[in-house]
Structures are given as structure tokens and as C-alpha cells.
Structure 1
Amino acid sequence: MPESHSVGHKTPKNRAGFQPHGRNPGGTRPGSRPSGEVVQDEQGEVRDWQGKTGRFTTAKKQSARLPQTPSLQDGGSHACALARRGRACNLVAQRPPLQSTDDAFIDARTITIGAEIAGRITEVAVTDNQPVQAGSVLLRIDDSDYQAALKQADAGVAAAQAEIVDVAAQIKAQDAKIDQAQRQAAQAEAALDFAKAEDQRNRALLARGTATEQQAQQAASTLRQDQAALASAEANVISAKSQVSVLQAQAKSAEAKLEQAKATQDQARTALSRTSIIAPIAGRATSISAAKGTYAQPGQVLMMFVPDQVWVEANFKETQLDLMRPEQPVDIGIDAYPEKTFRGHVDSIQAGSGTAFSLLPAENATGNYVKVVQRMPVKIVFDKPPDVLLGPGMSVVPTVKVR
């Protein structure tokens, strides 16, 4: 079977035909082509499709090869355009309306399902190749240690919150102490003002001889006592205010402890949630290596997961891509379902050949270069989800309608 070929409609004798679909040697499924259809393979050999027998027979010798490109006078299905600015006139061979290849396979973004935490597996909830919906539990890991860690984290959060409440109460009490100290300072200041007035009055009376020396000394002593009392009251106010600063620093520290405790709590809650491994999207679980009772390590692969969303990765020859564009319709034949034809369209053409992105790309600057037609991966998507079971690696024969 040729790896790639071009397909067209029935044409008169000595006109270019089309290549086989690639489903069976030399053509598609029996009965899918009209009798007498002409097919050209990669070697240029022309064969006729016998609809009754479902076989190809070699055409007559005189038509075994398709004609070469005709001359300018030949016309027909070839175009000759006079280039601008004096350029030469070129012959453009008509391209076949269909491009096909059997170097194509079903592809999907398979997901590796692994453990994110350490623990003993207590349940494997799926079997090999079982379809599951998004959010379904695939397996469970023993969560007793993680439950305890979460309770401890919850207690840490509660303790940090209690500390914040306690510090806030202390700050409130200290504010009351400051108010009391300020009132005492105000009283001391008033007493001092009165003592100053009494001292001045007694000094004046003593100078006029209407007051005794003892009365003047008593007034001076009271003044000094009130001055000391005011200084003490003001010192108490300063001390009370400085204590508030200390308590405010403790409050900030308690808030930081609370944030740390909450982070630990979130960490513990996340670890607990990871004891249940769930399906990220709808698909099928396969290659299950997990077993109940085994100990899972973080990063250990436990199973593979194949999403329901699949597409076709077709490796066309670079010589088949000149007319291929995104959104062109595609008929998709799948070897596993020979009686079905699926519809799709070209999604994109890879920006480089397959060898350009290989692990060991070809080194052509060695002096031993042999030109080989390169393969270009083309992504083909289904127009609607297939109603059959598909998986990565299944053989496909896509036929792109390039015209």
C-alpha cells in the first residue's frame, strides 16, 4: 500500500486520474468506487477499478503511463499565465482535488495520573479502560494522618485568633489607664496652680507683716509637693502610652501568627483533598498500576488517562501541501471501523517537518546528503464527536478535499 496518494474523479483515457483511498490494497472498501474509475499510484502506474469484483486490474499498455506535461498549444486542464514585467510563461500542472495518506493516527493529550502526597492506597475506584466523567474519584489514599494534621492546623488558627483578642483587650484596658493617668495629671496641674497662687499670696503677706514665717514656709512646701505630684502624673501618662505601643506590636505579631496558622491550615486542607484523586476531564482510565494496599510516593505514576477529545495526526508529504489549507473538509477512514466514514476538517499544519522537532534532528551538513521528501504533521479534527471507541495510535486514512 502506498503511504500517500492523490485521488480524483473518473477521467478520459490518457488523462490524470486519482490515487487509491488506502483502505484496501489499491483502493477503498469494495463497492465504494464506481466501476471503471482510473487510479494512479506513486510509480505512475494506471489501474482500473472493477466495481463488480472489487479489484484493480492493470490498464492497457498504451495507457499505463499518464502523459507528461503538454506543450503550450495543448491547453486542456493546464494553465499558462503570462507573468508581469516580462517574466517567462510557466506551465502549472493541475493538482488532484483530493490528498490522502495512510501515515496517520488517532492522537490525544494523554494525562499522567500520579500521587501528589505520600500514603497507602485504600481504594482503586476504576478498572482498566473504564469510562469516567469529570470529577469522578479514581482512587483514594489513607487520609488519617492528613485529618490529624488539619485538626492541628485548625487549633493553631484558633490559638492565634485568641491571642489577637487578648491583645486587643489589653490595649483597651491600657487606653483606660491612659485616660486615668491624664485625669490625675490634670488634677495635679490644678493643685499646682493653686499652690503657686497661695505661695505668692503668703509671700506678699509676709512682706507686709500680716502673715507669719510659718505660713509662708507651709505654702512653699505645698507648692513643691504639688510640683512633684504633677511630674509624677505626667510620667504615668507617658508610661501608659508607651505600653500601648508595646501592645500594638504584640497585636501585629499575633496577626502574623494568625496568617501563618491559616497558611498551615490551607496546606493541611489541600493535602487532605489530595487523598482523593479525581478525573480532571471526561475520558478513560488505562494502564492502571495502582493497587489497594500499596504505598504511593509523591510523583509516582498510578495510571494513564485518555480524554474523550481526540483528533487525527496525519503526516502528509510536503509535496501534498501546496493546496492544503485549514478548514478544508476531510473524509476520515479508520481501520478499526472499515464500514464507517467520519467527517472532519483540517485544523492546522505544523510549522516544521516531523524530523525538525525530533529528539535527534537530521544533520545535513555532513557532505553525505540524500534528498528525502519530508513529512509534515497535519492536525485534523472531527466535525462532531465520533460515536465509536477511539484511542491514540489507531490507524487512520484521511482524504482532504483540497479543491
Structure 2
Amino acid sequence: MLKFLRSTATLVAVVIGIAGTALVLYAWRLPPFTSSVETTDNAYVRGQVTLISPQLNGYVAEVAVQDYQRVKTGQVLVRIDDRIYEQKLQQAKASLAAQKAALANSEQTRRSNDAKIKSSEAQVDSAQAALKAAEASWARIEPLLSRGVTTQKEADQARANLDQARAALSQAQAAVEVARQDWAATLVNRSSLEAAVQGAEAAVRLAEIDCQNTRIVAPQDGRLGEVGARVGQYVSAGTQLLAVVPEKIWVVANFKETQLPGMKVGQPVTLQVDALEHARLSGHIERFSPAAGSEFSVLKADNATGNFTKVAQRVPVRIAIDPDQNLVERLAPGMSVEVSVDTAAPAGTKGIAAGGGVALR
């Protein structure tokens, strides 16, 4: 009897030892329990959370939304008191009107200078004609004076008329040059006035943009986070007021580097979501991170000092969630996910995720 009990105890110990060894091998996925399915619970739902801030200073006049509300692109979220900015816009428009008036006056001055040039040129023609007449009169009187046919007084008068005609021609030619210089100065001043008008127009556009920026709108469709803006609150540029979470979401799974062999873009993925009572959804690998997560940390470990212990690094893998699944709309950024990838499956294959939907890619 004692011998039988000893044999039974030995058999139980052997069975327990075999079971423990099998359990350890299964837990560490060692032969004969190796599997092509790689799993990690270091995975989370991600999304493009957009923080909304004003571009200018002022008092909050209206908060048109509430926490967690769904919004559409262009929907007004918060309105800042715009009275100051409206007055600045009117001031900029008045300055623009003044600059345009100055430019119009310059155009009128240019036309007046054109007329002055033509008038001066006509005076030159008149002076030239008078000079020709005076020269002809002197040419007739000068020979007569030498022969005593005419008086000295008439000769002096003819000579004075000739000198006066020459002086009048010089004066008329100088007047033409002055008119042309005035015309050139007007053109130079016009360029300055045109630049001033462009500057005033830019000031008006900037004032209009400031007025538009008093209405803070949703940049895209999505749902709001907690709304931090309050009516009467004074805010400055960059103050965080609220956040918009767009509809587009994905999963980032941080696999150990030893799990990556065999993974390829397009392979089907099974997602088990904690917040949805461990419901399963389907997805596919979209892309791999260019570096391990430790390379993006602020404080990087220096393995060149002290004792070294090798630790498997984790590499982020972006996973796209397949559309047309019943529970996808309930996913939110930050939720925990357990991810399973069959590294033996070829990229682009179809598969069924239990309780979730069809993996279509």
C-alpha cells in the first residue's frame, strides 16, 4: 500500500511538473506553443485633436456651444467682442478713401501738367514766329541804315524787337522745360501715392481679417471636448478655449521589436476595445514608425554608462480601422485597445473579426 501511494505521489508530481512546464512554454510562446499571432495591449485609439485658440485679444461676448457637442465646419463656436475691431476697420477704410482721393488729385494734376506742356509748346511756336518776323524786319532795316534811307530810331526799334523776340523764345522754351519737370514730378509722386493706396488697402484687409477672427469657427466636422470659454472672460491670442476632435481616428499599437518580423503593411488586424465590453473590430496595418518610441522621448536613455541590461524596445505601428462597422462611431481618442496581428497572413487578405465586422483590406 505504501508503495502504491509513493507511486501515485510521484505520478502527481510528474503531472504537475509537466503542466507547469507547459504553462510556462505557452505563456512565453515557446515551442511547441509558438504562434504567428502577435498581440499587445500597449495600444490606444488616436485622433487629430485640434486645440482652438483666438488670434486676437478681447472679451468673450458669446459661447455658442456646449461640452461634447457635435459641430460642423464653419459653425460659430465662440464670439469675441468686435466693437474695437469694427472701429479699426472703419478707420482703415477712411484712410483708404483719403489715399484714393490724393491719387485722384495727382491724376488731375498730371492732366493739368499735360495741358501746361502743350500751352508752353504753343508759346514756343508763337515766339519762334515772332523771332522770324523780327529777324526779317532787321534784315530789311539794317542795309537801309547804312545808306541813310532810314532813321537811327527805326533801326534801334527793329534791333530791340529782335532781341526781345529772342528773349521771348528762350523764355517760352524754359517754360516748356519747367512744365515737363512738373509732369515728371507728378509721375514720381503718383508712384508714391499708388503705394500708399496699396498699403491702405492692405490695412483694410487686415482689419477685415481681425473682424472675421472675432468669430471663432469649427475648422472641420467633429465633436467638442470640454469648453473652457466663459462669457465676459478676457482672452489673449493663443489662449486655449476648447478642442475639436474630428471624426477620423486610428489605432497606434506599440509592439516590441521582437514582434515585428513578419508584419507587413496591409495585414489584417483584430482590435479588442476595453470600453466596448471587449468587442472586436477589424483593421489593417497602415504604416510603421520610422524609429522606436524611445527615440522620440524628451529624456533619452544613455546605454553607454553603467551596467547594461538589454530591454526590447517598442515600435509604434499605425493601424487603420476598417469602415462600416457598427461600433466604430463609439470609439474616441485615448481608449485602450488590445491588438492582434497574424504575421502569417498575407497583406490585403480578408478575414472576419468575431463580434466586430469584416476586415476588408
- Equivalent of residue 281 in structure 1, options 220, 223, 226: 220
Cα RMSD between the aligned structures? 2.2
- Equivalent of residue 395 in structure 1, options 321, 331, 336: 336
More helix by share: 2
Which residue of structure 2 lines up, in the alignment, with residue 231 of structure 1?
170
d(CA) in 2 for partners of 1:41 and 1:220?
Answer: 138
Superposed displacement of residue 266, structure 1: 1.2
Q: Residue deviations 1:263-291, cap 9 Å, x none?
A: 11111111111101111111111122111
1:1-400 equivalence runs, <5 A: 43-45=24-26, 66-67=31-32, 96-338=35-277, 340-384=279-323, 387-400=328-341
Which residue of structure 2 lines up, in the alignment, with residue 13 of structure 1?
none
d(CA) in 2 for partners of 1:341 and 1:135?
Answer: 35
Q: TM-score, normalised by structure 2?
A: 0.84
Instruction: Give, as a single letter, the amino acid of the residue that structure 1 aligns with 2:231.
Output: K
Instruction: Give, as a single letter, the amino acid of the residue that structure 1 aligns with 2:26.
Output: E
Q: Contact between 1:46 and 1:66, CA under 8 Å: does it hold in 2? A: no
Q: Contact between 1:315 and 1:377, CA under 8 Å: does it hold in 2? A: yes
Superposed displacement of residue 211, structure 1: 2.7
Q: TM-score, normalised by structure 1?
A: 0.76
d(CA) in 1 for partners of 2:170 and 2:23?
Answer: 111
d(CA) in 2 for partners of 1:119 and 1:223?
Answer: 80
More relative contact order, 1 or 2 (CA 8 Å, 6+ apart): 2
Q: Figure out how many residues of one structure are paired with residues of the other and give that number.
A: 322
Q: Residue deviations 1:90-120, cap 9 Å, x none?
A: xxxxx73322211110011211111211111
Provide structure 2 residue ranges, at least 5 long, that are not aligned to the other structure. Answer: 1-20, 346-361
Q: Contact between 1:354 and 1:376, CA under 8 Å: does it hold in 2? A: yes
d(CA) in 2 for partners of 1:255 and 1:42?
Answer: 86
1:42 to 1:213, Cα distance in 2 relative to 1, 3 A: farther
Q: Residue deviations 1:110-136, cap 9 Å, x none?
A: 111112111111111111111111111
Superposed displacement of residue 367, structure 1: 2.6
Provide structure 1 residue ranges, at least 5 long, that are not aligned to the other structure. Answer: 1-39, 48-63, 69-94
Question: What secondary structure is seen at the aligned counterpart in 2 of 1:227?
Answer: helix
Identity of aligned residues (%): 37
1:220 to 1:317, Cα distance in 2 relative to 1, 3 A: same
Question: What secondary structure is seen at the aligned counterpart in 1 of 2:70?
Answer: strand
Greater shift in the superposed pair: 331-340 or 363-372: 331-340
Q: Residue deviations 1:376-396, cap 9 Å, x none?
A: 110001122654222221011
Question: What secondary structure is seen at the aligned counterpart in 2 of 1:331?
Answer: strand
Question: What secondary structure is seen at the aligned counterpart in 2 of 1:345?
Answer: strand
d(CA) in 1 for partners of 2:26 and 2:261?
Answer: 23
Q: Residue deviations 1:346-369, cap 9 Å, x none?
A: 111111111121111111011311
Question: What secondary structure is seen at the aligned counterpart in 2 of 1:117?
Answer: coil
